[in-house]
Amino acid sequence: MKSRIPVRASRGLAVGALMLLFLLGSWNASAVEAQTPPEASPTFAEHVAPILYESCATCHQPNGIGPMPLLSYDDARRWAPRIKRKVQSRAMPPWHLDQTIGIQAYKNDISLSDSEINAIVRWVDAGAPEGDPAKLPSLPELPDGSEWQLAKELGPPDFVIEAPPLTVPANDQDQWWVQTTPFEGVIDEPRYVKATELKGSYPLGVRVLHHGHVTLGWQQEGRRVSRPLGRQGIGKGGDLFPDNTGMLIQPSGSLNWNLHYFPIDEEVVDERSTAAVWLHPKGYVPEYETIGEQRFTADRGGDMPWAGDIAIPPHSIKVQQGTHVLKRPALIQSFRPHMHMRGREQSVEAIYPDGRREMLAKVDKYNHFWQISYEFEDDKAPLLPTGTVLLITTLWDNTADNPVNPDPRQWVVFGQRGVDEMSHVWLGMTYLTEEQFKRLSAERNRMAARDDR
């Protein structure tokens, strides 16, 4: 799976401009309409394959996490009706954000443009024609699942840590693997982390690990401080912090592994999840210190670790909200919603000290299979003053309309299993000093003024 897929906004614009030219062209040509042939339907070779290669092939290939390859014409034709349904509903590629509200600038946006969806739909409706095979683009370069995805950008990691082995049975309930291992002798002084990536081993481990965390904890001034050295979920890549940003870690302490495995109908022997860490150079002190992805809950109105007050009646839609008041200014790098099978929507809004309210990001097509982290573009990442209230809203659908609901007749309460519920978001947090906040706000205002000119 590709973890950082370049945003294709510029291509989307180009396609949009072409469409416009096309429309203008056909307007001018209306006088000679009788002579122009009817609009030809898209073909696989010329129009559809480029979209599948760019937006689907990373997962839909023999070694990818997609259930079937979508590389050849035969693959695509066989799946054509299902492809149409999945792209039209925007379930595929997996990008479950509500694209009508909130911030829309993300580093890892893999969603299709309206014109790409339109091309696929028209192709399927026309009977999925192959077209001229000579026009097929060459097959894309496929990611190697055994390699660190961030290594392409960053080179080999500075160190790698490994969880104790666990054999995951072929068929059983979810498996939780909670272990503590020492962290000694890996680094010899406090260092700033630049990026982290956690994954199961290749090829079976990446499929059997549903999500997981490894955190480094140490004692500092009488309390335990902990920082994530890897968080993984299906559809989530590594965490690369923005420029000038690092996460400070100490050279000793212990590693807490919290790994959630889903049996895959095949025994996975001695599976070891592994995390890679990239460091800033020795002696380098970044301008901003992040604490990585942190959990904010939507229950009991605060930071209670467990959502003891979740109780969803049978056949019902239920909404729950929680708030968190920022005691310092903050910059939020990423948003990753987390609910279980009844989860449908989740959002984070900011209520500013002056009372203004702004939707930051909202997912309206949540699917528990996916744990996608939506990574804001650096210059669009929420920049929030002290006193901002983060309002987290969760919507569960415990009705029969929810296609993944295992049983709408049940009451649902908090719990670890997929059939129980949870309600929290993971936010990539960088707390700022008031000075830093002022400087960044001024920069943003200058940029906005320039864009207005």
The two beta strands, 288-297 and 245-249, are parallel
154 to each of 196, 280, 433, how far by Cα in Å? 11, 11, 29
Interface with ligand HEC: number of residues (CB under 6 A): 23
Q: Which is nearer to ligand HEC, 77 or 295 (CB)?
A: 77
Is 55 an interacting residue with respect to ligand HEC (CB under 6 A)? yes
Judge contact between 308 and 300, C-beta under 8 A.
yes
Q: Report in angstroms how near the CB of residue 271 gets to ligand HEC at its nearest.
A: 19
Is 257 an interacting residue with respect to ligand HEC (CB under 6 A)? no
Interface with ligand HEC (CB under 6 A), residue from 1, 15, 186, 359? 1
Is 82 an interacting residue with respect to ligand HEC (CB under 6 A)? yes
Stretch that binds ligand HEC, among 56-64, 192-200, 405-413, 427-435 (CB under 6 A): 56-64
Instruction: Give dist(CA 333, CA 231) in Å, integer.
Output: 15
Stretch that binds ligand HEC, among 10-18, 57-65, 261-269, 414-422 (CB under 6 A): 57-65
Interface with ligand HEC (CB under 6 A), residue from 42, 93, 228, 385? 93
307 closest CA partner among 294, 318, 296, 292: 296
Interface with ligand HEC (CB under 6 A), residue from 87, 150, 255, 279? 87
Instruction: Give dist(CA 239, CA 210) in Å, integer.
Output: 17
Q: Report in angstroms how near the CB of residue 324 gets to ligand HEC at its nearest.
A: 30
**Mask 300-319, x = binds ligand HEC (CB under 6 A)?**
--------------------
Q: Report in angstroms how near the CB of residue 312 gets to ligand HEC at its nearest.
A: 23
Interface with ligand HEC (CB under 6 A), residue from 235, 242, 329, 343? 235
Q: Report in angstroms how near the CB of residue 267 gets to ligand HEC at its nearest.
A: 21
Q: Which is nearer to ligand HEC, 232 or 245 (CB)?
A: 232
Interface with ligand HEC (CB under 6 A), residue from 202, 218, 369, 414? 369
Instruction: Give dist(CA 443, CA 288) in Å, integer.
Output: 15
- Hey, which residues between 99 and 138 contact ligand HEC (CB under 6 A)? 110, 112
Q: What is the DSSP string of 250-306?
A: -SSEEEEEEEEE---SS-EEEE--EEEEEEPPTT---SEEEEEEEEEESSTTS--SS
Stretch that binds ligand HEC, among 55-63, 306-314, 404-412, 440-448 (CB under 6 A): 55-63
Interface with ligand HEC (CB under 6 A), residue from 45, 48, 49, 59? 59
- Hey, which residues between 399 and 428 contact ligand HEC (CB under 6 A)? none
Using left for φ > 0, alpha for ψ between -120 and 50, and beta otherwise, residue 265 falls in: left
Is 272 an interacting residue with respect to ligand HEC (CB under 6 A)? no
Is 83 an interacting residue with respect to ligand HEC (CB under 6 A)? yes
245 to each of 106, 164, 264, how far by Cα in Å? 18, 31, 38
Q: Report in angstroms how near the CB of residue 340 gets to ligand HEC at its nearest.
A: 15
Three-class SS of residue 350?
A: strand
Interface with ligand HEC (CB under 6 A), residue from 43, 45, 53, 60? 60
Interface with ligand HEC (CB under 6 A), residue from 45, 92, 259, 360? 92
Is 56 an interacting residue with respect to ligand HEC (CB under 6 A)? yes
Instruction: Give dist(CA 319, CA 148) in Å, integer.
Output: 39
Over its C-alpha atoms, the chain yields an Rg (Å, rounded) of 24
Three-class SS of residue 211?
A: strand
Tokens at 404, concatenated:
């993944």
Peptide bond into 203 cis (omega under 30): yes
H-run or E-run covering 170:
none
H-run or E-run covering 43:
none
Chain residues that interact with ligand HEC, rule: CB under 6 A: 1, 55-56, 58-60, 65-67, 70, 79, 82-83, 86-87, 92-94, 110, 112, 235, 367, 369
